[in-house]
Amino acid sequence: MQARLNRAKLTELEPIFYPQSIAVVGVSADEQRIGSQWLRCLVSSGFKGRLYPVNPRGGELFGLRVYRSLRSIPGPVDLVIVCVPRASVLDLLDDCAARRIKAVYFFTAGFTEAGEREWVEVQREMVVRARRGGFRIIGPNCFGVYCPEHGIPFGPFGLQAGVGSVGLISQSSGHMGKILEFGMTRGIGFSKGVSIGNASDLGAADFLEYLALDHKTDIVGVYLEGPRDSRRLLEIMRVASETKPVVVLKGGRSDAGARATAFHTGALAAPAHVWSGALRQAGAVEVHSVDELADTLLVFEKSGRFSQANLAAVCGITDGGGGEAVLVSDACADAGIGVPALTEETGRELVGLLGQVGSVLCNPVDLSQRQRAPQVLRRVMELLAGEPEVDLLAVYENAGVILDAFPREKAEAITATIVDFSNTRRKPVLVILPPGPAETRRLEIERKLSAAGIPVFPSIGRAARAIDNVRGYWRLRARRDEAERKG
């Protein structure tokens, strides 16, 4: 008996990501205050629906009329963003009910996570009132929704990364912001996302069900601390993982982490190994840091489906390729990534191209002892992509040396060659571009590669772990598909 996702979730949560109107409660004449900043970001991000600022004093802000209360807004209100002190939230919820809103989220904090009994009670009462009023709560203690396609930026600072196929659910607004930041520089695109804070009402399970059904979301990234509804979440995760990868970072793995978790979102934690086992059983991909989460989402989004991960690498675009080749091999071995030997035919052509006997039959290929014209790099990439045992190509672009050694045009020609080759889509290409002293120009290169949909990593170790994660998921899928075909 297979559990199914409830398609009603799509309709139910649709107004949260695609509201026709938003009220921001808690704006102020001081444009530096959080509520006002939030409103400004919604205005400038081009939100297409109606925006209603709310403050008891009324007035005008960023060209919009400020309403004295939710009740005084003339048209319908789908979504409410709340930045008022915690003492006023209960009254506000009655107003929300009167306006028949669909959902509300609370930047306002100081409830279960603060550990004071009185406010734990208030959080419970909030949910009671929302149920009674027929609407849902996101948070409190969160930044809420991100939906770039619909012009909703993330949080009061208006973070905006590109549109793409990654959906996010996070119990920490900070981590979700960090993932979006990585997305901005490294080209991860997002369908939508939500930070759920204390998850008093809607929780990770609800949003995972929604994202699993959402046809604009191909990959789901999740940051969990201790969800209230673990059992249901894991069950939904199991079903969701059958159709799309679910990548999970579980915070609070350690005792100290669990203690911090309790204070952060008021959640309780199970031991790390219990969580790891449960996530594995649910078919999720577990990661262990925010960096690894971003790296893995990036490879899932950009590199297509691969259940084998044999890597061919090009090192030494300038000198120094020997050491790079050794560490690429070691890092791949540590992550269980194959670095296959090349066929004799390819070896022979490499001898012709690169000259020296020693290095040429070897993968990684080390270009460093010869002329490194862009057309040589191109041909080497073609040869490696033509190898039957090679699934992925990595280019080690040591920008520090390249920018020192080559005139600007030549350094740019190298990047252009990698982009051109990647555009042929013969095999997925990744680039290792370690940081160094020439950061401004290195970041230019990173931006160009990222804009071309090429995953860029600061180290081969991080690339190898991400590749391993992605391979693990697709291998499982391949086995299941095979079993279904036979069964």
Residue 113 is a binding residue for a second copy (CB under 8 A):
yes
Which tokens go with 216? 């604009």
Position 55 contacts a second copy (CB under 8 A): no
270 binds a second copy per the rule CB under 8 A: no
Nearer to a second copy, 269 or 299 (CB): 269
Segment interacting with a second copy, rule: CB under 8 A, options 66-74, 123-131, 237-245, 255-263: 255-263
Residues of this chain, 392-421, that bind a second copy according to CB under 8 A: 398, 400-401, 404-405
Contact yes or no for 195/167 (Cβ under 8 A): no
Among 238, 461, 474, 476, binds a second copy (CB under 8 A): 461
Minimum distance from residue 95 beta carbon to a second copy (Å) = 25
Q: How far is the CB of 423 from a second copy (least distance, A)?
A: 25
The distance of closest approach from Cβ of residue 135 to a second copy in the complex, given in angstroms and rounded to an integer, is 25
Q: Check residue 78 for interaction with a second copy (CB under 8 A).
A: no
Smallest gap from Cβ 122 to a second copy, in A, equals 14
Please name the amino acid found at residue 357.
V
Q: Which of residues 173-212 bind a second copy (CB under 8 A)?
A: 173-175, 177-178, 181-182, 184-185
DSSP bridge partners of 67: 54
Q: Which position has the token pair 């991100």?
A: 146
- Cβ burial 286-312 (10 Å sphere, 16+ → b, else e): bbeebbbbbbbbbbbbbbeebbebbbb
Say if residues 110 and 163 touch (Cβ distance below 8 Å). no
DSSP reduced 3-state for 439: helix
**Residue 434 engages a second copy in binding (rule: CB under 8 A):** yes
172 sits near a second copy (criterion: CB under 8 A) = yes
CB of 300 to a second copy, least distance (A): 21
Q: Give residues 147-166 in contact with a second copy (rule: CB under 8 A).
A: 157, 159
Whole-number Å distance between alpha carbons of 175 and 177: 5
Q: Which amino acid is at 416?
A: A
* Rounded CA separation 210/10 (Å): 6
Amino acid (one-letter) located at 140: P
Residues recorded for the chain? 487
Q: Which is nearer to a second copy, 58 or 277 (CB)?
A: 277
Nearest residue (CB) to a second copy, 189 versus 400:
400
| CA dist., res. 178 & res. 191, Å (int) | 16
Whose Cβ is closer to a second copy: residue 99's or residue 253's? 253
Residue 235 near a second copy by CB under 8 A = no
Half-sphere exposure of 319 (CA within 13 A, CB side): 2
The DSSP 8-state label assigned to residue 340 in this structure reads P
Site for a second copy in 338-397 (CB under 8 A): 339, 356-359, 362, 364, 366, 369
Show contacts with a second copy in window 287-316 (CB under 8 A): 288-291, 316
Distance from chain centroid for Cα 397: 24
Identify whether the C-beta of residue 479 lies closer than 8 Å to the C-beta of residue 323: no
From CA 354, how far away is CA 352, in angstroms rounded?
6
Contact by Cβ (8 Å): 34, 28: no
User: What does DSSP say about strands 64-65 and 60-61: parallel, antiparallel, or unpaired?
Assistant: antiparallel
With binding defined as CB under 8 A, does residue 439 bind a second copy?
A: yes
Q: Which phi and psi (to 5°) does residue 35 adopt?
A: -60, -40
The piece of 201-209, 277-285, 330-338, 476-484 that touches a second copy (CB under 8 A) is 330-338
334 touches a second copy (CB under 8 A) = yes
251 is a contact residue toward a second copy (CB under 8 A): yes
Does 21 bind a second copy (CB under 8 A)? Our answer is no
- 202's tokens: 């809607």
> Is 164 or 400 the residue whose CB approaches a second copy more closely?
400
Pick the binder of a second copy from 6, 254, 371, 423 (CB under 8 A): 254
- What is the Cα–Cα distance from 160 to 141, expressed in whole angstroms? 20
Q: Of 122, 61, 125, 72, nearest to 95 (Cα)?
A: 72
- Count interface residues toward a second copy (CB under 8 A): 81
In 3D space, the residue among 57, 146, 134 whose CA is nearest the CA of residue 93 turns out to be 134
Taking the least distance from each CB to a second copy, the nearer of 344 and 484 is 344
Q: Shortest approach of a second copy to residue 40 CB, angstroms?
A: 12
Q: Which stretch binds a second copy (CB under 8 A): 2-10, 12-20, 125-133, 318-326?
A: 318-326
Residue 95 in the binding site for a second copy (CB under 8 A): no
243 contributes a contact to a second copy by CB under 8 A: no
The one among 132, 333, 389, 481 contacting a second copy by CB under 8 A: 333
